[in-house]
């Protein structure tokens, strides 16, 4: 079978690898779709820890083709989505219920072979069923949605709350939808590209803002702004210094800031502790998807979250590797890899 391999940091190839055989407690999955995430680019450039040689791809779903020995709960022909994050279950964090902070956390598609391949091995502990009548491309969104769900859970959005989302990539556009579902009545998305702002308004943003068009903090929080005094909750979903700096200043006193965006390790941003203290802001980091994958799969299966407009391109493995090697194209939200040789 064919796979996109990270041979070493900086070296990506598409080539023939042996079709894997599922062991005890494992499923062999024929991959139907696998999303290219910014993390794949970071992994290629050594900016995110991985263990090459490895097949990349951590946002995938597919059809169970074979079930390993002594494996229950799943059968051939089922559609499943992969929760890539494998916790040990034994360390003190796992035993306290914080599996995303596991001391021995491993991820499928990062530390062990993933979904940019015709077939992938999926431990049953990481598999969640999806309906067979779902568009096979949509399963690839369960993983990013599960990460957003964790952030939205942590924000504790109250019905009628106001929300600002900084960054109109796939994460920001999913957070906009989740915030509306959670009961927010005013959701402002801030992003530079006009197409993304238009899409956000289709997906539930009540207003959008181009941060280059003026002073975004005043445009949101000022007396004549979109949310005078600031938002109850601000989600940072761009992962850049400018938006991290802006995020506490866009929250109202007593409000909450959730950092979902990933900035390069070691990079710092100036935050005014007096402001956090004096205005009692909650400043929260949200990392991956502890116990949220089932709900994410249900939200996608039910159509409650609209993922179709987030698909920018569908490509094969070769073009997928090219896409990982280069930055996202302007306007691009999510590129999905469909391994051609598995197409039924
Ligand atoms: P993405 O496609 O790069 O989206 C981020 C968007 O932010 C960009 O599309 C860009 O759109 C916008 N942006 C950049 N600078 C901006 C600025 N100054 N003001 C406003 N918007 C700005 O990435 P993504 O896939 O949506 O992921 C977003 C972040 O979440 C990344 O850092 C990713 O690594 C992280 N992430 C975190 C988790 C977690 O568990 N916490 C999980 C998955 C991903 P415009 O060009 O339109 O401005």
CB of 216 sitting under 6 A from ligand 1: no
What number is the average pLDDT over the span 264-292? Answer: 96
Give the residue-averaged pLDDT of 123-136.
98
- Residue range 70-95: mean pLDDT, rounded: 97
- For the Cβ of 261 lying below 6 angstroms from any atom of ligand 1, the answer is yes
Interatomic CA distance for residues 88 and 99, integer angstroms: 8
CB 165 within 8 A of CB 179: yes
Structural domain contains residue 318: yes
Which residue range forms the structural domain that includes residue 335?
2-133+307-342
291 within domain boundaries: no
Q: Is 171 in the pocket of ligand 1 (CB under 6 A)?
A: yes
Atom of ligand 1 nearest to the CA of 259: 41
Asked if residue 240 has its Cβ within 6 Å of ligand 1, the reply is yes
User: In the chain, what's the furthest Cα-to-Cα distance?
Assistant: 65
| 120 within a domain of the structure (yes/no) | yes
pLDDT of 122 over the 70 cut: yes
User: Are residue 161 and residue 64 in the same domain, yes or no?
Assistant: no
258 bridge partner residues: 235, 284
Tell whether 39 and 107 lie within a shared domain.
yes
The residues with which 12 forms a beta bridge, in sequence order, are 6
Specify if 248 maps to a domain.
yes
Q: Is the CB of 204 under 6 A from ligand 1?
A: no
Contact 4, 116 (CB under 8 A): yes
pLDDT value at position 333? 97
CATH number (domain holding residue 43): 3.90.180.10
Q: Are 79 and 111 in the same domain?
A: yes
User: For residue 45, is it within any domain?
Assistant: yes
Task: Say how many residues make up the chain.
Answer: 344
Residue 299 lies in a domain: no
Q: Are residues 276 and 313 in the same domain?
A: no
Kindly state whether residues 177 and 259 are assigned to the same domain. yes
The protein residue whose alpha carbon is closest to atom 36 in ligand 1 is 261
pLDDT tens-digit readout, 20-63: 999 999 999 999 999 999 899 999 999 889 999 999 999 999 99
Contact between 78 and 134 (Cβ < 8 Å): no
Q: Is the pLDDT of residue 342 over 70?
A: no
Q: What would the DSSP string read from start to end of 290-329? A: TTTHHHHHHHHHHTSS--GGGEEEEE-HHHHHHHHHSPPP
Whether the predicted pLDDT of 341 surpasses 70: no
Name which of 8-17, 113-122, 235-244, 259-268 the model is least confident about. Answer: 259-268
User: Quick check: CB of 190 below 6 Å from ligand 1?
Assistant: yes
Distance from Cα 238 to the centre of ligand 1, integer Å: 3
Domain co-membership, 160 together with 127? no
Residues 105 and 198 both lie in one domain: no
- Helix or strand or coil: residue 71? coil
For 129-144, what is the mean pLDDT? 98
Q: Packing angle between helix 170-181 and helix 142-155, nearest 10 degrees?
A: 50
Mean pLDDT (whole number) for 293-317? 98
Q: Domain holding 210: CATH number? A: 3.40.50.720
| Bridge partners (DSSP) listed for residue 335 | 36, 313
What is the Cα–Cα distance from 96 to 327, expressed in whole angstroms? 38
Total structural domains in the chain?
2
Distance 235 CA to ligand 1 centre (A): 11
Asked if the structure places residue 290 within a domain, the reply is no
Distance from Cα 42 to the centre of ligand 1, integer Å? 13
Instruction: Say whether pTM exceeds 0.85.
Output: yes
Q: Is the pLDDT of residue 240 over 90?
A: yes
Separation of 237 CA from ligand 1 center, angstroms? Answer: 5
Q: How far apart (Å, rounded) are the C-alpha atoms in residues 176 and 293? A: 18
Q: Is the CB of 71 under 6 A from ligand 1?
A: no
Q: Domain check: are 261 and 186 in the same one? A: yes
Residue 96 has, within 13 A of its CA and on its CB side, a CA count of: 8
Question: Is residue 193 within 6 Å of ligand 1 at its C-beta?
Answer: yes
Same domain, 11 and 43: yes
Query: Residue 287 in contact with residue 100, Cβ under 8 Å?
Result: yes
Averaged pLDDT of the chain: 96
- Distance, in Å, from the CA atom of 270 to the CA atom of 260, rounded to the nearest integer, reads 18
Q: Indicate whether 297 belongs to any domain.
A: no
């Amino acid at each position: 079978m064919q796979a996109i391999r990270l041979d070493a940091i900086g070296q990506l190839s598409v080539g023939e690898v042996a079709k894997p055989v599922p062991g005890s407690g494992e499923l062999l999955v024929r991959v139907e779709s696998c999303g290219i995430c910014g993390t794949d680019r970071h992994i290629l450039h050594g900016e995110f820890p991985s263990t090459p040689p490895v097949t990349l791809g951590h946002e995938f779903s597919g059809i169970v083709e074979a079930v390993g020995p002594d494996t229950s709960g799943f059968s051939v022909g089922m559609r499943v989505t992969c929760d890539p994050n494998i916790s040990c279950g034994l360390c003190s964090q796992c035993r306290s219920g914080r599996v995303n902070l596991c001391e021995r956390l491993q991820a499928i598609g990062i530390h062990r072979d993933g979904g940019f391949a015709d077939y992938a091995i999926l431990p049953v502990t990481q598999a969640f069923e999806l309906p067979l009548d779902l568009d096979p491309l949509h399963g690839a969104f369960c993983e990013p949605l599960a990460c957003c769900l964790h952030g939205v859970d942590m924000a504790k959005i109250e019905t009628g709350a106001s929300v600002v989302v900084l960054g109109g990539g796939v994460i920001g556009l999913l957070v906009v939808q989740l915030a509306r579902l959670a009961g927010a009545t005013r959701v402002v998305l801030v992003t530079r590209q006009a197409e993304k702002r238009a899409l956000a308004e289709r997906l539930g943003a009540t207003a959008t803002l181009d941060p280059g068009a003026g002073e975004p903090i005043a445009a949101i929080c000022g007396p004549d702004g979109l949310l005078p005094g600031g938002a109850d909750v601000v989600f940072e979903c761009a992962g850049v210094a400018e938006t991290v700096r802006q995020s506490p200043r866009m929250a109202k006193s007593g409000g909450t800031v959730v950092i979902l965006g990933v900035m390069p390790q070691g990079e710092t941003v100036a935050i005014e502790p007096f402001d956090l203290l004096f205005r009692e802001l909650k400043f929260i980091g949200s990392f991956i998807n502890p116990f949220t994958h089932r709900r994410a799969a249900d939200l996608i299966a039910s159509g409650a979250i609209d993922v179709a407009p987030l698909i920018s391109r569908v490509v094969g493995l070769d073009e997928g590797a090219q896409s990982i090697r280069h930055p996202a194209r302007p306007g691009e939200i999510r590129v999905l890899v469909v391994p051609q040789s598995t197409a039924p």
